[in-house]
Amino acid sequence: MAEVFSLEDLARSITRQWRLLLVVIVVALAAGVGANELWPERYESTAVITVEPIAVSTTGQSSEPANMDTERVVASSTEVLTLAAKELNGPSVAELRDGLVVMVPKGAEVLSFTFTADTADGAAAAANAIASAYQENRVTTARTVVEEASAGLTAGIAEIAAEAAALPADSPVRATLETQIQALQERQAILRSASFNAGSIVSPAVAPSESTKPSMPILLAGALFVGIFVGCFVAMIRARFQRSRSEADAGEVRTGARRQRPAKIGSENAA
């Protein structure tokens, strides 16, 4: 039949092992003090920027709003981090990637760049540098697309112009081709006049005044809780082990007594 322990029995067992409980708590508190000494100082700083649709199609119409999930991936890409690393002139791309977290607030077309570093100034500088590098990369990408589209229009205009030049001046086909050339030139002018507003930094990163390292009271409170929990568990297990051992020893004593009793009776009869 399984043994049933009440809360009173558990409390009594733990109380008997108070020395063990105290030792575990002291060890846990010492570990908390050690963690406070070894825990590195880390600082977090966040820069927030808006994300504007800047790409322009060959028709001169603005594109759809930016896909924020895609922009979040681009913001932490190697290309962006390489630009930031050059500006900071210190940390590597791998170090920037390890310290960076890019988030998209729900329902907002903004990106938050949170960077964690060993120093407060370093965290703020890196967050701002990465945000600026992301904007620069967006503008460069959009400008490249526009330049490629404009080059394609230039080639098309030259091809149509060559075809029109081979026709008589009074040819209706030539007039049609010249109209096409004019339309392409207008489209090209729209492309070349496109502005590139990647967004703006609405909340630049500033050096934090406090680190992310837990304070000593918090560490000690956590260590005390863990020490009490582990100490009670160990004390309970030890008390139960000692109780089982005592019961086993008592059983061996009773068994030995029963074995000695028949021998004693036999010796009395022989006398």
Examine residue 60 and state whether it is found in any structural domain, yes or no.
yes
Residue 270 CA to its chain's centroid (Å): 89
Locate all alpha helices (DSSP H) within 39-67, ordered by sequence: none
Examine residue 14 and state whether it is found in any structural domain, yes or no.
yes
Cα–Cα distance, 151 to 58 (Å, whole number): 11
Cα–Cα distance, 53 to 49 (Å, whole number): 13
Is residue 120 within 8 Å of residue 42, measured between CB atoms? no
Say if residue 249 is in the same domain as residue 175: no
Cα–Cα distance, 178 to 194 (Å, whole number): 25
Examine residue 234 and state whether it is found in any structural domain, yes or no.
yes
Cα–Cα distance, 48 to 200 (Å, whole number): 9
Say if residue 198 is in the same domain as residue 231: no
Element (H, E) at 54: none
Cα–Cα distance, 220 to 113 (Å, whole number): 32
**Whether residue 165 has pLDDT greater than 50:** yes
At 97, list the tokens.
């990637």
Its domain, for residue 77, covers: 43-203
Per DSSP bridges, beta strands 100-103 and 110-117 are: antiparallel
> Is the pLDDT higher at 17 or at 50?
50
Average pLDDT, the chain: 78
pLDDT classification of 68: cutoffs 50, 70, 90 = confident
Say if residue 150 is in the same domain as residue 241: no
Considering just the CA atoms, what is the radius of gyration of the chain in Å?
Answer: 39
Say if residue 94 is in the same domain as residue 157: yes
DSSP state of 56: B
Residue 15 CA neighbour count, 13 Å, CB half: 6
Q: Which amino acid is at 116?
A: T
In 3D space, the residue among 128, 130, 122 whose CA is nearest the CA of residue 43 turns out to be: 122
Say if residue 195 is in the same domain as residue 236: no
- Give the model's pLDDT for residue 245: 67
Cα–Cα distance, 22 to 14 (Å, whole number): 11
Say if residue 23 is in the same domain as residue 119: no
Distances (CA, A) of 235 to 2, 136, 195: 21, 62, 73
Number of separate domains in the chain: 2
Point out the least confidently predicted range of 160-169, 180-189, 247-256: 247-256
Say if residue 21 is in the same domain as residue 90: no
Say if residue 55 is in the same domain as residue 156: yes
**Whether residue 60 has pLDDT greater than 50:** no
Average pLDDT on 212-226 reads 75
Counted residue by residue, the chain has a size of 271
Say if residue 109 is in the same domain as residue 233: no
Burial degree of 10 (CB within 10 A; 0-12, 13-18, 19+): middle
Most confident by average pLDDT, 12-26, 52-66, 162-176, 204-218: 162-176
Say if residue 23 is in the same domain as residue 48: no
Examine residue 240 and state whether it is found in any structural domain, yes or no.
yes
Work out the end-to-end distance of the chain between its first and last CA atoms, rounded to an integer number of angstroms.
45
Examine residue 209 and state whether it is found in any structural domain, yes or no.
no
- Give the model's pLDDT for residue 124: 92
